[in-house]
Amino acid sequence: MDLSSAIPTFVITLREGVEAALIVGIVLAYLNKANRRNLKGWVWAGVGVGLAASGMIGVLFGWIVEQAGTAGVSIEQFLEASFSVLAIACLSWMLIWMTRNARSLKQDVEGAIASTIKQDAQAGWGIFGLIFFAVVREGFETVLFIAGKFQQGVVPTLGALAGIGFATGIGALLFRYGVRLDIRKFFMIMGILLLMIVSGLVVTALGHFDAGMNALAQVDRKSASLCFYYERFAKPQDRDCVLGPMVWNFSKIMPAEQFPGSILSALLGYTDRLYLVQAIAYFVFLITVGGAYFQSLLGRSLFPLRRKPTNSSQ
């Protein structure tokens, strides 16, 4: 059994799960401090219902994927590309936003709880909603990634479950047993891994889009012009529909479906057939989103505004 497809889902659910576990732990600790332990049941209800809702979203996406498979190759490929683009956008935003707001996470959550528990009649529902949306947000991003990669089956699901289990264990170590872990370093390492995985998803999304355009181009002669690289730029032996000339072909040396290609594919987005547009998009994404991520690690803005120095003598 090839377990490489479990790596991305494990990394994502581990990171997302630890973020959710931090919020749950902060809420529980604050309720203990405020002597509102009677509201703990609402916390666990929010966790349970949030996980169930995430599972239902996954089932819905799986059904959409199944229906797309019966609607035609082009529909299926364009749907895969759409899921991939949404996953790229959501995970990239989450990566940068969380890094920029990690320092104030505890303060923000505690402020939300403080205002919630003041409303005695609705305090339980307020706590439930806070936890529920935190869990669903993390679950939705994970499910969207799985749908974007079209990684259906047992192995990716096992990776996701393992990630949730490890995240739960880290949460227990932090808040129940008082183990001191360097959370900042953890999120930095996981963020770098996530950045590489999402960069690979850019390559995957373009591959799906190219396959969809290729399927449309074969419908009739009028649609053949959609594959403009078939008639321009690329040589016949290495041409592709909209991805341009081939950069490399390692299908015989290191296939993406076999070790170690499968590991590189899972972690770095490696493909044994890489085309020019994919290579450009991959590096543009790494430079822009990766640059914004590392700038946020340093607490800086990607494009800081510089003020002109003023002359104090005037």
The verdict on residue 143 lying in a domain is yes
How many domains does the chain divide into? 1
Given a contact cutoff of 8 angstroms between Cβ atoms, the answer to whether 276 and 233 are in contact is: no
Q: Residue 57 pLDDT more than 70? A: yes
The verdict on residue 307 lying in a domain is no
Total length of the chain? 314
The verdict on residue 12 lying in a domain is yes
Given a contact cutoff of 8 angstroms between Cβ atoms, the answer to whether 227 and 233 are in contact is: no
The verdict on residue 270 lying in a domain is yes
Tens digit of pLDDT for each residue in 99-146? 776 667 778 787 888 888 777 667 888 888 888 988 888 788 777 777
Lowest mean pLDDT of 72-86, 134-148, 176-190, 294-308, name the range: 294-308
Q: Residue 190 pLDDT more than 50? A: yes
Mean pLDDT (whole number) for 285-293: 89
Most confident range, picked from 20-29, 33-42, 141-150, 275-284: 275-284
The verdict on residue 302 lying in a domain is no
Q: Which residues contact 261 (CB under 8 A, 6 or more apart)?
A: 250, 254, 255, 270, 272
Tokens in use for 132?
């529920």
DSSP for the chain? Answer: ---TTHHHHHHHHHHHHHHHHHHHHHHHHHHHHTT-GGGHHHHHHHHHHHHHHHHHHHHHHHHHHHHHHHH-HHHHHHHHHHHHHHHHHHHHHHHHHHHHHGGGHHHHHHHHHHHHHTSTTTHHHHHHHHHHHHHHHHHHHHHHHHHHHT--SHHHHHHHHHHHHHHHHHHHHHHTS-----HHHHHHHHHHHHHHHHHHHHHHHHHHHHHHHHHHHTT-SGGGGG-GGGTTTS-TTT--TTT-SEEEE-TTTS-TTSTTHHHHHHHH---SEEEHHHHHHHHHHHHHHHHHHHHHHTT--SSPPPPPPP-TT-
Tens digit of pLDDT for each residue in 232-260? 544 544 556 778 778 888 878 888 777 77
Greatest Cα-to-Cα distance within the chain, rounded to the nearest angstrom: 76
The verdict on residue 303 lying in a domain is no
Structural domain including 281 reads 6-297
Neighbours of 162 (CB within 10 A): 15
Confidence at residue 220, expressed as pLDDT on a 0 to 100 scale: 60
The verdict on residue 304 lying in a domain is no
Using the CB atoms, write b or e for 225-242: b if 16+ within 10 Å: ebbebbeeebeeeebbbb
